[in-house]
Amino acid sequence: MDRTILGAIFGGLFGFGALGGLAFLGAAPNAVPGKPEGSWRLLDPVAYENITIFPVVSTSSQDTSVFLTLDEGLSSGEVIVSEQGTAGLARTRDGRPIPLPPQYGGRASVNQLVLINRGKRPLLLLAGELVSGGKQDRIIGKDRIVPVGSEPLPLDVFCVEHGRWTGASAQFGAAKTIVHPSVREQAAVAQDQEEVWDAVRSGTLAKAPPPPASAGPADGYAAPRISPRAVENAIASAAPTQSYEKIYAQSRVGASVDDFVDELRRRFDRATLGLKGERVVGVVVAYGGEVAWSDIFASGDLFEKYWGKLLRSYAVEALARPGYRETAAINDAREFLRNLNGREIVESEPGVYRWREITEGRLSLIELESIEPKAIMLHRLLLHRTS
């Protein structure tokens, strides 16, 4: 991989495919200038307890059917993820062994797996996606694309199951889960294993202001439903190896999340019903009055493939933060759709993809652009860092 580090370069200097730099075409309500083939537009907020979600819609939509998602690839057997040092255990779906190069014949590694794309489409990976199995569950460390027909790939990952280092199979399956923003941030931006573990165990790393001395439900405040104590109890009873999936999906913590997600989904579906000539391509998310996160995709179809697990991840974060019942201002949400000016890092794999990160104050913008088979900005993440 070629790596280029560019300092103090303004975000507008790169015209990155589908989501960058084309002219604003009108003055539609809540529209955002400088976006692709028309505009992004924010719909009215979807609010529930301490979370506010602003749907992002667009009149343009790229053809993203040429890309394979991790869940699709693992479920179909087109993608194989294995521990290092398991050449004899990497097999196709019909049981045929896959020979791995000698460099993968050593010991298993906490922060590196082996990925093989046997499919006919480039594979899209997003930071924070969970793969389950092997010696311990892991999450993808960085957005990237794996081309068709590539050699077995050393895949950078982070552990989210502290305490287990054994398993019946060295291979991983589709978990259909993406970790919540506090954990995902530590993988995508901080790239720090200790911080990833801390975020899993504590629920959130966001530093909320202390509640007023007399704060209570009448003041629009409620203590976090997923508190560090609740996570500790879940670990003690259901997830002694500190498995992310078991803590946040299969315990009493998970039951609380399910109800929260169901209500959020109902409200979101109602708010986005009946759109004409537009598709939902992303969201901006606020907790209390603080706009904190946004995920935007190149097409409505691609957004739909990720929406279920993204929604659950946002809900977990909301439940781990204090319940300040405020609705964020739409002008603050609109700020999360602008380009940043700041320190920039660009990484690329020639002919495959380009990844860039721009840091401006406490904001971090990460964009993933495919180069082949077509130039498309597939995913744009902007977040307000918690650390």
What is the rounded distance in angstroms from the CA atom of residue 149 to the CA atom of residue 154?
15
What is the rounded distance in angstroms from the CA atom of residue 87 to the CA atom of residue 384?
41
Domain ranges of the chain: 2-64+331-384
Whether 34 shows a pLDDT value over 50: the answer reads no
Query: CB of 294 within 8 A of CB of 283?
Result: yes
Q: Is 69 helix (H, G, I), strand (E, B) or coil?
A: strand
Q: Which amino acid, one-letter code, is at 76?
A: S
pLDDT of residue 248: 84
Whether 185 shows a pLDDT value over 80: the answer reads yes
Look at 19-23, 248-252, 284-288, 323-327 and tell me which has the smallest mean pLDDT: 19-23
pLDDT of residue 94: 54
Strands (E) across 88-128 are located at 112-117, 123-125
Return the structure tokens found at 266: 């109902």
Burial 23-36 (b: 16+ CB within 10 A, else e): eeeeeeebbbeebb
DSSP string, 11-58: GGG---GGGSSPPB----TTEETT-TTB-EEEPPPEEETTEEEEEEEE
**Other Cβ atoms closer than 10 A to 249:** 21
What is the rounded distance in angstroms from the CA atom of residue 31 to the CA atom of residue 82?
44
Segments in 212-346 forming alpha helices (H): 228-237, 244-248, 252-271, 300-320, 330-335
pLDDT tens-digit series, residues 65-112: 999 999 999 999 999 999 987 544 455 545 555 555 545 555 678 899
Return the structure tokens found at 265: 């989904």
Query: CB of 56 within 8 A of CB of 294?
Result: yes
Nearest to 135 by CA among 183, 82, 87, 184: 82
What is the rounded distance in angstroms from the CA atom of residue 7 to the CA atom of residue 342?
8
Report the pLDDT averaged over residues 264-273: 97
Residue whose pair of structure tokens reads 């493939």 in the numeric block: 305
Report the pLDDT averaged over residues 273-279: 92
pLDDT of residue 139: 95
pLDDT of residue 96: 55
> If 0-12 CB within 10 Å is exposed, 13-18 middle and 19+ buried, where does residue 332 land?
middle
pLDDT tens-digit series, residues 357-385: 999 999 999 999 999 888 999 999 999 99
Query: CB of 210 within 8 A of CB of 224?
Result: no
Report the pLDDT averaged over residues 149-170: 84
Return the structure tokens found at 308: 């279920």
